Amino acid sequence: MEVITRIDTMREKLISSRQVGQKIGLVPTMGFLHDGHLSLIRKAAQENDIVVVSVFVNPTQFGPQEDYEEYPRNVERDALLAEEAGATFIFHPSVEEMYPENYETYVEVTDLTKVLCGRSRPGHFRGVTTVVTKLFNIIQPDRAYFGQKDAQQTIVIQKMVRDLNQNVKICVCPIVREKDGIAMSSRNTYLTNEERMQAAVLHKSLEMAQKMIDEGERDAKTITKAIEKQICTMEKAYIDYVALVSLHNLQPLTVLSGDILIALAVKFGATRLIDNVIITV
């Protein structure tokens, strides 16, 4: 496995593979890989001949008061884990390589990014869609792999691909969880021991919501209040949002029907965690 830092080199490395018809899979990451990322790499390795894992902490998706500088980084560790999982290349460009001087071009999906995480993190998704478009242009993958943990992100990217006629299949893979149910995330490393223990309430509240729906509850407000009540039993928890929305357009639901996304964003101390579940009624 090779670590590539230049865009022109990355393109050159893939020319011969593309010419002989080999399939290319891309796993976009910000690095500090965990088992969630590795599950995406393994899936990509099963379905493609070449797997490129991008490791790039993208500054344009961080707000001014967010954790860009503190975001965990360890490319040497990432390279070892990615190779074991089946990666062919790591693409690890510098910020200057991706955003040269006088850079001023961005890609934006509008309505889908105004809700949920987009409401509390303005500009975040513009950064995501811009960097993902750049990666698609550089790598030209046949398939790109994303985790369901970032459910809104996957929906936004799928919309972008449809709208811009980008020639790539988006593959969304299941959330990978710790033993206590917490969704794996690089930001989990920020949590204190007490915060980490309390964060398990997120998955428990989603399981409770699913049970309520399975037993026939269809009123979104009733389920929302039940989730909020359970999360608020944890003194370290501060709710950003609890939302029951249509999976297809992220619009809030009053009465549940069809494909539903139950999404949460909650802070434990200074660390903002997200989680979700998809349910069909």
Q: What does the pLDDT look like over 5-58, one tens digit per residue? A: 999 999 999 999 999 999 999 999 999 999 999 999 999 999 999 999 999 999
- Look at residues 89, 67, 70, 94 and name the one whose alpha carbon lies nearest to residue 78: 89
Model confidence pLDDT, tens digit, residues 209-250: 999 999 999 999 999 999 999 999 999 999 999 999 999 999
Residue with tokens 């370290």: 236
Query: Considering 37, 92, 124, 203, which one is annotated as catalytic?
Result: 37
- 259-268 vs 237-246, strand pairing mode: antiparallel
Q: Which CATH number fits domain 186-276: 3.40.50.300, 3.60.20.10, 3.30.1300.10, 1.10.490.130?
A: 3.30.1300.10
**138-161 pLDDT per residue, tens:** 999 999 999 999 999 999 999 999
Task: Return the SS3 of 54.
Answer: strand
Q: Which residue has the tokens 């549940």?
A: 256
For residue 65, the model assigns a pLDDT of: 87
Digit-coded pLDDT (tens) for 165-184: 999 999 999 999 999 999 99
Question: Which letter does DSSP use for residue 215 in this model?
Answer: T
Give the ranges where the chain is alpha helix by DSSP (H).
Answer: 7-19, 35-47, 75-85, 95-98, 117-120, 124-139, 151-163, 193-198, 201-214, 220-231
- The CA angle 110-115-118, to the nearest 5 degrees, is 75
Residue 68: band (very low, low, confident or very high) from pLDDT cuts 50, 70, 90: very high
DSSP structure class, residue 32: S
**78 near 54, Cβ under 8 Å?**
no
pLDDT at 6: 98
CB-based contact 98:63 (threshold 8 Å): no
Work out the average pLDDT over 255-269.
97
Residue 49: CB partners within 8 Å, gap ≥ 6?
17, 22, 23, 24
Q: Can you tell me the mean pLDDT for 99-121?
A: 97
Q: What CA–CA distance (Å, rounded) separates 264 from 242?
A: 5
> Phi, psi at residue 131, to the nearest 5°?
-70, -35
d(CA 248, CA 213): 19
pLDDT above 90: percentage of residues in the chain: 99
Domain spans, the chain: 2-173, 186-276
Decide yes or no: CATH 3.40.50.620 for domain 2-173. yes
pLDDT confidence of 111, banded at 50, 70, 90?
Answer: very high
Half-sphere exposure of 217 (CA within 13 A, CB side): 16
Distances, alpha carbon 42 to alpha carbons 52, 85, 116, 204, in Å: 12, 5, 30, 28
pLDDT above 90: residue 275: yes
* Calpha distance 102→241 (Å, rounded): 36
37 counts as catalytic: yes
